[in-house]
Structure 1
Amino acid sequence: MRSSPIPTVTNRRVFYIPGYDPISPRRYRELYRKEGTSQAEISGYEIALNPKTPGGNYGWNVNGLIDDVRVSSDVDVLIWSDIVRDSMDTSILATYVQLIRTAWVYIGSGTLWRLMKLRKGPVIAALYPVGMLLVQLLLAYAAAAGAFWGMKSLLIPLMGILGHVMAMVVGIAVFVLLMRWFKKKDGRFFAYYLMHDYAYGAATKGANPPELEARMAQFSDSIAAAFETDVDEVLVVGHSSGAHLGVSVLADLIRAGRVPADGPTLSFLSLGQVVPMVSFLPNAHRLRADLAYLSVQDGLTWVDVTAPGDGCAFALCDPVCVTGVAPPDKRWPLVFSAAFSQTLTAARWKELRWRFFRLHFQYLCAFDRPGDYDYFQITAGPITLGDRYADRAPSKSRIETPVNKYPSMAP
């Protein structure tokens, strides 16, 4: 990075794209408020949240005083939590059918073996719901079998064949109740949630469902409108699976000529990306074409931040290169690590190390010893993303080897 970038931003529009998350977008506002306050105290600047002007997308306003410069940032959130909830509204039986179909898509296509060549962490995360759901099924079956044989030995001497029937009823009831209990407690196990997450992309083998494409198009209109306003930077942030949605949203905008050359600076920040989980699937032609297209654009800055400590992300994997679609003149993304083990204190790292889902959101949170990555300076500070990382070298340990079996960009 430059030692002292020149402040160029006083007004910014931030367009945040969350990952597969059924929870209300208010969660992100409160997370920003809480963690922004913590980071401001640690780093010695000021951040305050205010209600956003009524109308348009859900969001909030951020007023920052960083490096003695006051900056106003309006944050818009792409809401697709309702789509996520609808996709998760399935029965227990339907979830196990999803398990079979999703496993077949990833294993039958050879995608799973290719992903394992990149990072084992996210692959283990993908296999976790399969294993956990099967364990739950076996435990429920074992409990039901135990109840059946116990009741059978007790009731048959007293009631004959009727006792056998009643024992079967008890066994079935135990099985159903235990399976329902597991689903009710999924906030602890995350098996159903993760299964629905991976099944959502696998159902179309990497293509975006129509309802999601429609929501992305609406959000694209909002971003395009921001270029007609008096702001200095339009910053798109995609977290987790929101990263690959951001790639497609921006590719559509640029292709359609909706990003004026003399307008605000365009920046894209992808965080904790899981792009290969989708781009390696057979029908992800659109995403692969968008990755290749965005990687050569002169009119934006694309920075990709992950961390090896995040077991749910494809850490330091260049999403364009590993997908096998990098053009000869590729420029983006700039790939580097948030280095959790260095930017968090030893005590904090010990506390969070095995809390995988919490770590996957660390990019949006405060750091005890922030290095050159600070989410709140990026979104509420006076420096554009491009100026902030103009001299930042990519991480030497980044992975660029193309391993995708399906690099085709045309259906």
Structure 2
Amino acid sequence: MSSNAPVRRRRVFYIPGYDPIPPRRYRELYRKESVAQASVSGYEIKVLPAKAQARFGWGVAARIDGAEVRSAFEVLVWSDIVKNSMNQGIIATYATLVRTAAIYIGTGALFRLMRLRKGPVIAALYPVGFLLAQLGLALLAAWGLGQIFALWHPVAAWGGLIVVPVILEWFRRQDGRFFAYYLMHDYAYSAGHLGANPPELEARMAEFTAEIAKVLQGDSDEVLIVGHSSGAHLGVSILADLIRGGHVAGDGPALSFLSLGQVVPMVSFLPGAHRLRADLAYLSARDELTWVDVTAPGDGCAFALCDPVSVTGVAPTAKRWPLVISAAFTQTLSPERWRALRWRFFRLHFQYLCAFDRPGDYDYFRITAGPLTLAERFRGRSASKSRIERPTSRYTSVAP
């Protein structure tokens, strides 16, 4: 399909980041935020039940810019893998903390990442600091209780240690507020194989690739892959496999890739990320797809405006992707809305999937439900002038 032909039928595959939450969360988020965006932007959009399919999804019927479009969404679920990786006790989590910190510090990746953006590095250090603070508070409470017990008998002072597991378990149960355990497991999962994908994730990605390959043989006008957060680097490898495997026909649907809030350097800067680096270099030079990368400096959890190919140091001479643009939260959100969100870091990391009350050319719902392909929507759009492209990674090899 020509990228400038109107879209009437679209398939959207959404790849979540490291998230243990059931996929219905994304449907409800889309339902709520699409209505909000439609009321601001003056178009019609409605979430519909999904047709029978192997994975979780939903349908969308929209009338945008006078055109009627049907989109079918599918969430490429790997939350079960995430849950299994998070299924660790308190002691195992602290052991993971030590190992993960040793990997990022020992390989030099942490210091090189700080040269790009301090926000996501601070986000990575937060769980380390907060988990150590929890342990410190527990030990302080144990010491205080031990002093009381010692008034009865000196040996009884050791009895104060009984509060340590109680306090640590309380913090663990409150992690829905603190996100320390969650973030610790997130970074640990990427670092566990020094940047290589764990076997269970590679197997799941192969399933995703096969699923998309089938759809590329269908009658959709556009097949759009959306990768959010760590889902972005999964998308890079999946798309590289699709093209290498010969699954993208010249007369088939337009193939588009939208990466949002990416954290690619957290993985690509690690020594074992040979596959990801090779896929970044390969995908960046292909003409079978359009790749637009959207981040925002206001998102402290993403490597905002960092070209993931260039900063990794694997940009080929023929590089053409991604087009790096900013969602510009301070401009696309009203001052009132920005003040309400600016310190809600986790919520801001999902703003790309939400409504903007002062939208610019980035509109998630026009992209996923409107009549233009990703290529046509951003045709002639210049990359952000403030993007970061300087090679920063110590590791650039694309083969073990």
TM-score, normalising length: structure 2:
0.98
Match of 1:99 in 2: 97
**Does 2:354 correspond to 1:365?**
yes
Moved over 4 A (4+): none
Aligned equivalent of 2:165, options 166, 176, 181: 176
Once residues 254 and 246 of structure 1 are traced to their aligned partners in structure 2, the CA distance between those partners, rounded to angstroms, is: 12
Among candidates 111, 128, 131, match of residue 130 of structure 1? 128
Q: What's the offset of the Cα at 1:173?
A: 1.9
- 8 Å CA contact 2:4, 2:373 repeated in 1: no
Residue 333 (structure 2) pairs with residue 344 (structure 1)? yes
- 1:61 corresponds to: 59
Measure, in 2, the Cα distance between the counterparts of 1:220 and 1:48: 28
**C-alpha contact (below 8 Å) 2:261/2:295 kept by paired residues:** yes
Equivalent in the alignment of 1:402: 391
The within-5 A match list for 1:130-209 is 130-153=128-151, 155-156=152-153, 164-165=155-156, 167-169=157-159, 171-209=160-198
Q: Are 2:16 and 2:228, in contact at CA under 8 Å, matched by a contact in 1?
A: yes
Distance 2:162 2:67 in 1: 65
Q: Distance in 2 between matches of 1:60 and 1:173?
A: 50
SS at match of 2:116: coil
Deviation per CA, 1:172-211: give whole Å up to 9, x if none.
2211110100111011111100000000011100000111
Of 72, 76, 79, the residue aligned with 2:70 is 72
Query: Which residue identity is paired with 1:123?
Result: V
How many corresponding residue pairs?
A: 398
d(CA) in 1 for partners of 2:6 and 2:379?
A: 14
Q: 1:14 aligns with which of 12, 15, 18?
A: 12
- CA-based RMSD of the aligned residues comes to 1.0
- Residue 6 of structure 1: how far off its partner (Å): 6.2
The question of whether the paired residues in 1 share the 8 Å contact of 2:195 and 2:268 is answered with yes
Q: Partners in 2 of 1:224 and 1:90 — Cα distance?
A: 35
SS at match of 1:278: helix
C-alpha separation in 2, matches of 1:265 and 1:107? 42
State the alpha-carbon separation in 2 of the partners of residues 6 and 246 from structure 1: 24
Q: Which runs of no fewer than 5 residues in structure 1 stay unpaired?
A: none
Could you tell me how far 1:105 is from its partner in structure 2? 0.5
Distance 2:371 2:162 in 1: 62
What's the offset of the Cα at 1:7? 6.1
- Structure 1 counterpart of 2:26: 28
Q: Which residue of 1 aligns with 2:44?
A: 46
Q: Is the 8 A contact 2:10 2:222 kept in 1?
A: yes
* Rounded Cα–Cα distance in structure 2 between residues aligned with 1:238 and 1:148: 51
Which of structures 1 and 2 has the bigger CA Rg? 1
3-state DSSP of counterpart to 1:117: helix
Report the CA distance between 1:168 and its aligned residue: 2.6
* Counterpart residue identity of residue 268, structure 1: F
Query: What is the percentage of aligned positions where both structures have the same residue?
Result: 67
**Helix, strand or coil at the partner of 2:169:** helix
Secondary structure of 2:214's partner? helix
Does residue 1:272 correspond to 2:285, yes or no? no
Q: Distance in 2 between matches of 1:327 and 1:176?
A: 52
Shift of 1:54: 1.5
Which segments of 5 or more consecutive residues in structure 2 lack a partner in the other structure? Answer: none
Q: What do the CA deviations read for 1:72-101 (whole angstroms, capped 9, x no partner)?
A: 000111111010000001010000000110
Q: Deviations over 1:1-33 (max 9, x none)?
A: xxxx96610000001000000000000000000
CA distance in 2, matches of 1:294, 1:86: 30
Instruction: Find the aligned partners of 2:392 and 2:216 in 1 and give their Cα distance.
Output: 37
For 2:158, the aligned partner's letter is M
Following TM superposition, by how much is the alpha carbon of 1:62 offset from its aligned partner in structure 2, in angstroms?
Answer: 0.6
What SS class does the counterpart of residue 74 from structure 1 fall into?
strand
2:274 maps to what in 1? Answer: 285
Distance 2:383 2:229 in 1: 20
Return the offset for 1:56: 1.4
